[in-house]
């Protein structure tokens, strides 16, 4: 059953993190933050919603990086229950797809909880001061990629953030698979 995150809580501060990346480094928020904004994405390997739009995520990440927006992806799913989301599989995906952003593993799920991540994909767009300005969808795609001429909601919103420091007042929530939480 698809899940949608809550609407944007404008100005909410990005929680810091220190997570291992598929490149062998440990990354902190300050190291991925961009001069004109930061996009933190919660994704995973197995989710059909992510798989359907991964090419568009890569495209938009590259276009946003060119505008001074830092980009990072985090996988927080329970890899014991979903082996396709394990660190080795994440590393293989990052290499195979030449991800242009750090792909980090949140094994403890503490970062996903701190952000209030609800689904994959879940996009958190921050201004240069790391205040939340966007919590919406990539575009109107769902489990299948929509037509190539869909409005690029995430890109347009983060371009606006990079240029003005403010996100759009109207935002359509993302939709995807629920974060796969570990048993308590």
Q: pLDDT by residue (tens digit) across 14-41?
A: 999 999 999 999 999 999 999 999 999 9
Instruction: Look at the chain and count its residues.
Output: 184
What domains does the chain contain, in order, with CATH numbers? 18-178 (3.40.30.10)
**Res. 2: pLDDT tops 80:** no
Residues above pLDDT 70, as percent of the chain? 99
Q: Interior CA angle at 179 toward 173 and 182, to 5°?
A: 160
Cα–Cα dist 119/56, whole Å: 18
Whole-model pTM: value is 0.97
């Amino acid at each position: 059953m698809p899940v949608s995150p809550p609407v944007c809580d404008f100005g909410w501060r990005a929680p810091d993190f220190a997570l291992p990346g598929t490149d062998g480094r440990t990354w902190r928020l300050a190291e991925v933050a961009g001069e004109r904004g930061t996009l933190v994405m919660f994704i995973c390997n197995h989710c059909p919603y992510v798989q359907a739009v991964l090419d568009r995520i890569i495209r938009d990440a590259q276009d946003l990086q060119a505008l001074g927006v830092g980009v990072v992806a985090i996988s927080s799913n329970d890899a014991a229950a979903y082996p396709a989301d394990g660190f080795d599989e994440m590393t293989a995906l990052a290499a195979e797809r030449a991800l242009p952003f750090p792909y980090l593993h949140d094994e403890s799920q503490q970062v996903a909880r701190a952000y209030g991540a609800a689904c994959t994909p879940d996009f958190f767009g921050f201004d240069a001061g790391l205040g939340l300005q966007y919590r919406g969808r990539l575009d109107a795609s769902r489990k299948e990629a929509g037509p190539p001429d869909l409005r690029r909601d995430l890109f347009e919103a983060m371009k606006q953030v990079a240029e003005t420091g403010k996100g759009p007042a109207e935002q359509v929530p993302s939709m995807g698979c629920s974060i796969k939480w570990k048993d308590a």
